[in-house]
Amino acid sequence: MNNNPREHIALITGANAGIGLELTRKLLAEDWQVIALTRSDFPSDDKQIGQAAAKGQLRVYKTANLADYAGLHKTIKTIKEKERRIDVLFNNAGGSFSELSYSSQGRELHYELMTVVPYILLNELKELIASSHFKTVINTSSSALNFTKKFNLEILEHPKTFRKLLGPYSASKLALSLWTEAVAPQLAKDQIKIRSVDPGSNNTLRKGKNSGLPLLVKALMKLFFPPPTQGAGRLYEGAFGEHREETGVFLMKGQIAELKFRDQANAVLERVHTIYQQDYLQIQS
């Protein structure tokens, strides 16, 4: 638990690898407290991480599967019992999967993990965010959303076809950015600002893990993409840079970008809120 009002606290999902790990390292180096919500362990040979965990600067909460509501509920409950505020929530967990998969709730897995779960976390942790200094939420989106050609809620939840990266992944990132825009006026009542941010192209390939990316993209990633420190930097700038007073916007390459299918933003927000109420809130502690 941290009660020192002079120390800043961030919660990062997917904090143990890739962009999330680099963001964690960056914030720790700036003397932030970091609450890590992860599925897997941090690298065991990372001295900075080990030292931060030993002194309580880094506090790790694990759940086997963020897209499984029963486990997520238990972990969030523990966070709310032990933590007292969150200055910035980085909804960063995600990834591209190699085939069509579904969550235990019966919805397409990209959509569940990268569209719905961030909304659940926002709502469950809103009081901790509202009681902080920065009162900021950053949702990790993607420029891949620009490749979405068709968009509706039925396709999001139960796709009839699958394409790596440019199918459910890109549509789910678009849905995330759309509800981010739609929910902003509601959050403003509590002085909470929310933005979705494209971290850009980063080499986040890991040995022994199926990335779910097309072969051409994987080859380009190995040869030309910068390390995930770039993506971490863009998320950091999205939180604290020149657009820090903006809310509801989508940031790409550090600039506010227009979203496709904005006319469906409120419908997406209504749907994820219904899922939150009807599925998540029905879980008993």
State the burial class of residue 166 (Cβ atoms within 10 Å of its Cβ: 0-12, 13-18, 19+): middle
Rounded to an integer, what distance in angstroms lies between the CA atom of residue 110 and that of residue 121? 16
Rounded to an integer, what distance in angstroms lies between the CA atom of residue 243 and that of residue 159? 35
C-beta pairs of 45-48 under 8 Å, 24+ apart in sequence = none
Q: pLDDT digit string (tens) for 177-214?
A: 999 999 999 999 999 999 999 998 764 545 555 555 55
Neighbours of 73 (CB within 10 A): 19
Q: pLDDT digit string (tens) for 133-188?
A: 999 999 999 999 998 999 999 889 999 888 887 889 999 999 999 999 999 999 99
Q: pLDDT digit string (tens) for 62-96?
A: 998 999 999 999 999 999 999 999 999 999 998 88
Q: pLDDT digit string (tens) for 236-252?
A: 999 999 999 999 999 99
Mean pLDDT of the 115-134 span:
98
- What domains can be seen in the chain, in order of their start residue? 9-280 (3.40.50.720)
Task: Give me the pLDDT at residue 194, please.
Answer: 98
Decide if 272 contacts 116 (C-beta within 8 A).
yes
- Does the model's pTM come out above 0.85? yes
State the burial class of residue 175 (Cβ atoms within 10 Å of its Cβ: 0-12, 13-18, 19+): buried
Rounded to an integer, what distance in angstroms lies between the CA atom of residue 45 and that of residue 23? 17
